[in-house]
């Protein structure tokens, strides 16, 4: 983390730059969702819009986490703590996917395959 006055002054410029990217990312997400000419995939909301929207959101969130929250140069303990939380969320996502793609509901299951 930036601790010396010089390093802090330097990182202020980075914060401004990241802020700008976050604004830009938001504008792109909104334009893609609302302007038909910029719509990716098919017309209206579809999987491609979802992928694009969430990718931009993930990039924005990563910038906030790595730059504003200083995760780009933190101590090991922080990575362990935050990482374990993220792992739990991923497990939750996996459980959700299990529930949705339940093999019992699969038509192949009934047809004896």
Partner 1 sequence: MEIPYVVTPRKDTGLFNSKIAIWLFLASEVMLFGGFFSAYVFLRLGADYPWPERTLPVLPGLINTFVLIGSSVTVVFAWASLKLRNWRNFQIYMGITVFCAVIFMVFKGIEYNVKFQHQALRLKDYTVIEGHLGYEKEGEEYVLDHNDKKIEENLIFIETSKLTFNTVRFHKPWVDELLTQAEHHKSKIVLAADVTAITEEGKPSTVIAKAGEQLSNMLLEKIQKEHLAARSHNGGERTEALRGEWVKAKAENPGKKGWQIASTVNIDVAALTPKLLTEISSVAFNVEPPVRFDFYPRDVKEADGQSRLRDDTVIDGKLLESPMVFHHVDAIDFQHLVMKAKVKGIDPIVAIESSWLIKNSPFAKEAWEWHKGEVAKLEKELLDGYGLGKDNKPKRVPTHKEMYRIGWKDLGKKAESEGNVKLSFMDTTKEEFFGPNYDARGDETFPGFSVPREQVGFAAKFTPAWNTYYALYFTMTGLHGLHVVGGALVLAYYLFFGRKMYLENPEWLANRVEIGGLFWHFVDLVWIFVFPIFYLM
Q: Which residues does 48 contact at the CB level (< 8 Å), separation at least 6?
A: 40, 41, 42
Which of 1, 2, 18, 9 lies closest to 60 in space, CA to CA? 18
Shortest separation between residue 2's beta carbon and partner 1, angstroms = 8
C-beta closer to partner 1: residue 46 or 113? 46
C-alpha to C-alpha distance for 45 and 52, rounded to whole angstroms = 11
Looking at residues 40 to 59 of the shown chain, list those that interact with partner 1 (rule: CB under 8 A).
Answer: 42-45, 49-50, 53-54, 56-57
**Helix/strand/coil percent split, the chain, to 5:** 80, 0, 20
Residues that bind partner 1 (CB under 8 A): 2-3, 5, 8-9, 11-12, 15-16, 18-19, 22-23, 26, 29-30, 33-34, 42-45, 49-50, 53-54, 56-57, 60-61, 64-65, 68-69, 75-78, 81-82, 84-86, 88-89, 92-93, 95-96, 99-100
């Amino acid at each position: 983390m930036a601790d010396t006055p010089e390093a802090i002054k330097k990182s202020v410029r980075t914060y401004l730059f990241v802020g700008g990217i976050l604004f830009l990312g938001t504008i792109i997400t909104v334009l893609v969702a609302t302007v038909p000419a910029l719509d990716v995939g098919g017309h209206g909301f579809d999987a491609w819009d979802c992928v694009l929207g969430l990718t931009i959101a993930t990039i924005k969130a990563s910038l906030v986490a790595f730059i504003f929250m200083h995760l780009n140069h933190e101590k090991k303990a922080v990575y362990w703590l935050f990482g374990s939380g993220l792992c739990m969320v991923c497990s939750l996502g996996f459980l959700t996917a299990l529930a949705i793609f339940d093999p019992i509901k699969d038509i192949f299951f009934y047809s004896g395959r």
